[in-house]
Structure 1
Amino acid sequence: MGGLQEFIDSINTEYDAVHRNFEDQFWGTKMALKEGSFSTEALIKTKGEMEGFLADPTRLEQTRKWLSSGEATAEQTKTLKIFERTFGCYIMESAEAKTLREEAIQLEETLGAARGTMKLGAELPNEGFVELSSVGLRDRMRTNADEAVRQACFEGLRSIGPFVCSNGFVEIVKKRNKMAKSLGYLDYYDYKVTQAEGFGKIRLFEILDTLEQGTRKRLNTALEQLSSEKGESALKPWNTGFFMAGDVTKKLDPYFPFEKAVGSWARSYAAMGIEYKGATMTLDLLDRKGKYSNGFCHWPQPAWVRSDGSWQPSVTNFTSLADPKQVGSGLTALATLMHEAGHAAHFANVVQPSPLFSQERAPMSVAYAENQSMFLDALVDDAAWRGRYARDRAGNVVPWDLLEEDLRCKQPYEVFALRGMLAVPYFEKALYELPEEEVTAERIQSLADDIEKTISGRPSARPLLSVPHIISDEASCYYHGYVLAEMSVHQTRDFFLKEHGYIVDNPVVGPTLTEKYWSPGNSANFLDLVEGLTGAPLTGDAWVRKIEKPFDTVVATEKAEYEAAVKAGPKVTGDLDLNMRIRIIDGDEVIADSADDGSFTASASKFERYVCNRFG
């Protein structure tokens, strides 16, 4: 069967090709691109080819023969082991399971296409029906002063649940569960978490239960405080976000100009020593009809080191749904950029001898993937970051009084976000534990309502059935990763603050993350990586401590960091080099390309002009 290195090279090259074919179709269909041969049928076909490659039992058999041959070097053994782990996640011994999976994927893609063309929006007072994306609906709920508008937008979000349940989701749930049970798992959730994290559903919820039980009292206290301070109507799902941040969001808006978001992200990353090892990144930032309803970051080209020592840089596609005219859009865009660019930095810096170390599907830990992006997007909320980077168009720094007001609106209620994150995995757990005869559209919708009330204490401002992750095969039973990642974010922040005193503009941050978290890719276990960087096993202690910290203590700390930040200013102010090519597009239109514009800074400036000319 040829030599060992020949076998390794063939796996790497062939996987690289089928991976790219699928990802190109994924991007083209989700972005509703007109140029190119993109279709739901081609997406299903290329996904089947990629998963068929990974699920070929012959490749697993050959891998195990080479592992037992005694011929492999240490580097080759490491590569063979990632082959074995990856193939093991996709190979199904059961013909029934294979058929069920194929049927579920067909239904999922059909539902995804229907969801993409759904006439989503709200019946607004004096305007009639106005089409809005899910992001647009949530933005108006958070910022519009008219309660009737906010309630209409909430009802718009609620309409997603009945739509998905009547367009195939019920059958998808049944087929997913049948498939998982035919393979010996408790249910589909148990199957997904075991494949991604290496431990089962029971262990996962032992971890999550400690957070859920440990924050119930804080949730009740926060709900009582919100009702006492803002009135009982503040507990209505369309009012909570507005009462917590509506006025503050408007006041902050001038200090986060949408068109400046790309430059602010880049300068912040550059100051922390983060770079992209020659990657190409395509950004599609603006909302438009037909575009996929959630931000994401994917890699049509994984980064890896070929056997001849040559480096294959990553190619990244990421998207958001920004409306520059909407109040708060600049801050939302910035947070999305910091998040998705964190994913991109991670995957650009995986330095391993196979693309299977740097692809984002199983066996990559969901928590591992999300930890990187969430650690970096959290910086936008820090006074240390805002004091350096939050400036209006005239260059005036955001005033401290406004940041203190923002803290006063949000800090006592941070438990809401924690519980909101927990609600998704608890819903999916309950969903896939339903007896098959109970899996109906009505039962699914009532279950979602029940979980919202149990975990969040009231109906959620983001209805569970509007969360796009639950529909997608790849992202379903995935959301727990955000919870585990958030635990690690706070633990990692504590490490940097204790060891180095600060995070924002600290040039130690990028190299440390690269060495300890990013470079290993799928070669290491998430829990081991966190302990390797922080020096302690992963727990939720740091997160809970933050939520329970007295408000006056938080204000004093943040004010001191703000004053130091204003005095220091941004570390990187002129040209910058993230060692990457950036392309900024709007669907088929190319807005800026650093390969043509000459530099990252030139492309960021070109994007600024485009936004100002188009949106005013």
Structure 2
Amino acid sequence: MPLNVTAYEREAEQLNEELMREGLLTGTGEKETYEVREIYARHAHLFEPDNVRARLEERGDTRTLNLADFAVEGHIGLRLAEDSERLVNAELQATVRLNGQEAPYRSAPVMIQNQEDRQRRLEWDRAYCVVMESLNPLYSEIWTRTRQIAVELGFGDYRSMCDELGRLRLDWLRGAAEQILQATAPGWTERVARVLESVGASAEDGTTADISHFMRARRFDDAFPAERLLVCLKETLAGLRIRMEEQANLHLDIEDRPLKSPRAFCAPVRVPDEVWLVIKPHGGQDDYNSLLHEAGHAEHFTHVDGRLPFALRALGDTSVTETYAFLFNNLLFNERWLTRHLGRRDWSEFLEFNRFCETWMLRRYCAKLLYELEMHSLDEERARRLYVETLGKHLRVRINPERFLADVDEGFYVAQYLRAWMLEAQLRSVLERDFGPEWFAEPGAGEMLKGLWALGDSLDAPALAEKLGENGLCPDALIGSLMDN
């Protein structure tokens, strides 16, 4: 007998809290192992076929749509638990070896990024891809079974399942991605060539490892001291009339523990009553970028109206919370914000660096979407070729074919990111129009954001764009922002 909506939602919230708390404890370094199998076992009936079918049949408003998406995601996750665990454990145990040296597979990308010597960088990248290729059969099995389950649940295929449940409008998004790629194409090959030259590569043999090394950008670290990291965040929030120290539901973890995640993260354990912002300050522009991004998530979750049902507080279109995260980390593109919080200096080189990185990531995600829209209907050899051709064409560097499966996110999350990119540009345009270029220091902007945050996940990205006075989601503001810069 399937649970009714109210009972299902109540237990879904319990499961979510337990999973979030487990992730929090391991992320803060207070637990050595991530243990979720027992948690899922306690709530496994949520994802049994009768409950999943009930949620799919009840779809109507945003609340029931969000619960249906949650049920299907959990159903697939539960059925693939052993496969996923096998892959994760294989990655954790894998070692990248080169000339008698070795590095854990999962930390190898950071090590590769930090290699100053280009020959060593390429050798380590090749060794890393050899290990990745050995993991591809595990990725392949997971994707094969995922597509089968989508059909078993009554959807035409995996793509249509994600499109329908996520309300992604993938065909429209393809057109938007192509528009963005076309608009940012003029001069792109030359920009990439200059970047490659700066790290000892050429336009003919440049790789993604070279670009990754460029993005590490140690030369800017002195401008972003660790001791100013938290101060900058608090000052920024104060400008929006948000007193971080008075937010009883926002918990800050700044303790240094050996096993603590080096990157900032947000854990919305109970929205809005218990939200954690976890940081391990070490300084540098990347540290500021990740903290501001996670703070955008945290402020969204802490301001959600607690009277909303769980499905409208913590489930739904992730494009929305990513929009607020992008809004905060994009303050690093604002010279007025940089000067106000980090001092008066010549920021032109850093801003140019940021513009390149943003355009690179945007073009990469647009290309990834074009690839992912096709790859699920192709055999693996054709998918591998398409991956190399599509990303190589739009990024203008050599692409490692071994990444053709590992580079694909579940549930077309690439689409969520692209929607968030567009919505953030639309939101920022409204804030600048109504409150000026220093909107981040205007209490009125803070009140506007609080009103949007209170909505939680009750509106998806297109509906939120309409609430801002826009004609739905549109790439024009994003393209305009990139062109203005």
Tell me the TM-score range normalised by the shorter chain.
Answer: 0.7 to 0.9
The whole-number CA distance in structure 2 between the counterparts of 1:414 and 1:199 is 23
Provide the residue aligned with 2:364 in structure 1: 420
Query: 1:375 Cα deviation (Å)?
Result: 0.8
The 3-state SS of whatever aligns with 1:273 is coil
Please report how far the alpha carbon of residue 275 of structure 1 lies from its aligned counterpart in structure 2 after TM superposition.
5.8
Q: Distance in 2 between matches of 1:460 and 1:31?
A: 35
Q: Corresponding residue for 1:189?
A: 159
1:202 and 2:171 equivalent? yes
Partner of 2:233: 265
In 2, the alpha carbon distance for the partners of 1:292 and 1:192 equals 30
Structure 2 counterpart of 1:524, from 450, 454, 459: 459
CA displacement at 1:175 relative to structure 2: 1.0
Spell out the pairing of 1:293-308 with structure 2 (5 A cutoff): 296-303=265-272
CA distance in 1, matches of 2:390, 2:267: 30
What one-letter code is carried by the residue in structure 2 that aligns with 1:55?
N
Q: Deviations over 1:469-523 (max 9, x none)?
A: 72xxxx54212211111112222222222221122322222221121x3111232
Q: Distance in 2 between matches of 1:315 and 1:240?
A: 35
Partners of 2:200 and 2:50 lie apart in 1 by 55
**What's the counterpart of residue 346 of structure 1?**
300
Q: 1:537 aligned to 2:481?
A: no
Separation of aligned partners in 2, 1:300 and 1:499: 34
Q: Secondary structure at the match of 1:129?
A: strand
Q: In the alignment, which residue of structure 1 is the partner of 2:144?
A: 174
- 1:90-113 Cα offsets, whole Å, 9 max, x none, are 567xxxx99866432331233223
SS at match of 2:251: strand
**CA distance, structure 2, for counterparts of residue 54 and residue 346 of structure 1:** 34
Matches of 2:279 and 2:141, distance apart in 1: 29
Q: Give SS of 1:538's match.
A: coil
Shift of 1:368: 1.4
Equivalent pair of 1:101/1:176 in contact (CA under 8 Å)? no
Counterpart of 1:482 in structure 2 is 417
Match of 1:119 among 95, 108, 117: 95
How big is the shift at 1:259?
Answer: 4.3
Query: Contact conserved, 1:281 with 1:315, CA < 8 A, in 2?
Result: yes
CA distance in 2, matches of 1:228, 1:255: 24
The one-letter code of the counterpart of 2:308 is P
2:441 to 502, 505, 519: 505
Distance 2:421 2:444 in 1: 21
* SS of the residue 2:440 aligns to: coil
1:493 aligns with 2:428: yes
Query: Matched residues in 1 for 2:106 and 2:423: separation?
Result: 31
Matched, 1:85 2:65: yes
Aligned to 2:101: 128
Distance 2:188 2:257 in 1: 34
Letter in 1 for 2:351: L
5 Å-filtered alignment, 1:398-417, equals: 399-400=345-346, 403-411=347-355, 414-417=358-361
| Cα deviation code 1:441-472 (max 9, x no counterpart) | x66655433332133222359985596772xx
CA distance in 2 between counterparts of 1:45 and 1:286 reads: 33
Tell me how many residue pairs correspond in the alignment: 476
Question: One-letter code of the match for 2:432?
Answer: L
Map residues 47-58 of structure 1 onto 2, 5 A cutoff: 48-49=44-45, 51=47, 55=51
Of residues 485-494 and 150-159 in structure 1, the stretch that sits farther from structure 2 once superposed is 150-159
CA distance in 1, matches of 2:49, 2:232: 41
Kindly state the Cα deviation for residue 33 of structure 1 after the two structures are TM-superposed: 5.2
Q: What is the identity, as a one-letter code, of the residue corresponding to 1:452?
A: L
**Distance in 1 of aligned mates of 2:62 and 2:89:** 34
The answer to whether the aligner puts 1:359 opposite 2:314 as a matched pair is: yes
Contact 2:112 2:124 in 1 (8 A): yes
Shift of 1:56: 5.5
- Is the Cα–Cα contact under 8 Å of residues 272 and 509 in structure 1 kept in the other structure? yes
Q: Which is higher, the Rg of structure 1 or of structure 2?
A: 1
Structure 1 residues 113 and 230: CA distance shift in structure 2, 3 A? closer
Following the alignment from structure 1 to structure 2, what is the Cα–Cα distance between the partners of residues 194 and 382?
A: 37
1:215 corresponds to: 184
SS at match of 2:314: coil
CA spacing shift, 1:231–1:468, aligned 2, 3 Å: closer
CA 1:186/1:535 → structure 2, altered by over 3 Å: closer, same or farther? same
Task: Please tell me whether the aligned partners of residues 265 and 291 of structure 2 are also in contact (alpha carbons under 8 angstroms).
Answer: no
Q: Answer yes or no: is the 8 Å Cα contact 1:116–1:293 preserved in 2.
A: no
> What pairs up with 1:6-17 in 2 under 5 angstroms?
13-17=10-14
Match of 1:278 among 217, 238, 248: 248
Deviation at 1:338, TM superposition (A): 0.8
**Are the aligned partners of 1:60 and 1:83 in contact in 2 as well (CA < 8 Å)?**
no
| Unaligned segments of structure 2, at least 5 residues | none
- What do you get for the CA RMSD once the two structures are aligned? 4.0
Cα deviation digits, residues 106-136 of structure 1 (max 9, x gap): 312332233234335x748xx93344754x7
Q: Which amino acid aligns with 2:449?
A: L
- Alignment check: 8 A CA contact 2:263 2:287 kept: no
Would the aligned equivalents of 2:92 and 2:104 in 1 still touch at CA under 8 Å?
A: no
- Pick aligned residue for 1:316 from 272, 276, 300: 276
CA drift of 1:336 comes to 0.8
Q: Distance in 2 between matches of 1:267 and 1:60?
A: 45
Matched letter for residue 276 of structure 2:
T
Secondary structure of the structure 2 residue equivalent to 1:315:
strand
Contact 2:159/2:376, CA 8 A, preserved across alignment: yes
TM-score calculated relative to the size of structure 2: 0.82
Secondary structure, aligned partner of 2:92: helix
Q: Is the 8 A contact 1:177 1:187 kept in 2?
A: yes
The partner residue of 2:284 within 309, 330, 333 is 330
Q: Which amino acid aligns with 1:21?
A: E
- Is the CA contact 1:54–1:91 (under 8 Å) kept in the aligned structure 2? no
Match of 2:322 in 1: 370
Give the distance between the partners of 2:400 and 2:443, measured in 1 at CA: 38
Whether 1:381 and 2:333 are equivalent positions in the alignment is yes
Corresponding position: 1:252 with 2:204: no
Opposite residue 378 of structure 1, the aligned amino acid is N
Does the aligned pair in 1 maintain the 2:312–2:458 contact within 8 Å?
A: yes
The alignment partner of 1:334 has SS state of: helix
Report the Cα offset of residue 419 of structure 1: 0.8
For 2:401 and 2:303, the matched residues in 1 are separated by 34
Matches of 1:469 and 1:384, distance apart in 2: 37
The amino acid that maps onto 1:489 is: E
| CA distance in structure 2 between the aligned counterparts of 1:238 and 1:260, rounded to whole angstroms | 30
The aligned counterpart of 1:109 is 85
Q: Which amino acid aligns with 2:416?
A: G
Question: How far is the alpha carbon of 1:355 from its aligned partner?
Answer: 1.6
Whether the 8 Å contact between 1:82 and 1:523 is mirrored in structure 2 is: yes
Change in 2 beyond 3 A, CA 1:273/1:116: farther
Answer yes or no: is 1:459 the counterpart of 2:419.
Answer: no
Cross-structure match for 2:136: 165
Q: Which amino acid aligns with 2:373?
A: K
1:514 maps to 2:450: yes
Residue 449 of structure 1 corresponds to 388
After TM superposition, the score normalised by the length of structure 1 is 0.66
Residues 50 and 159 of structure 1: is their aligned pair in 2 closer, same or farther, counting only changes over 3 Å? farther
CA distance in 1, matches of 2:349, 2:136: 41
Instruction: Give 1:408 shift.
Output: 4.2
Does the C-alpha gap of structure 1 residues 279 and 100 become closer, same or farther in structure 2, counting only changes over 3 Å? closer
Paired letter, 2:35 = S
Q: Secondary structure at the match of 2:102?
A: strand
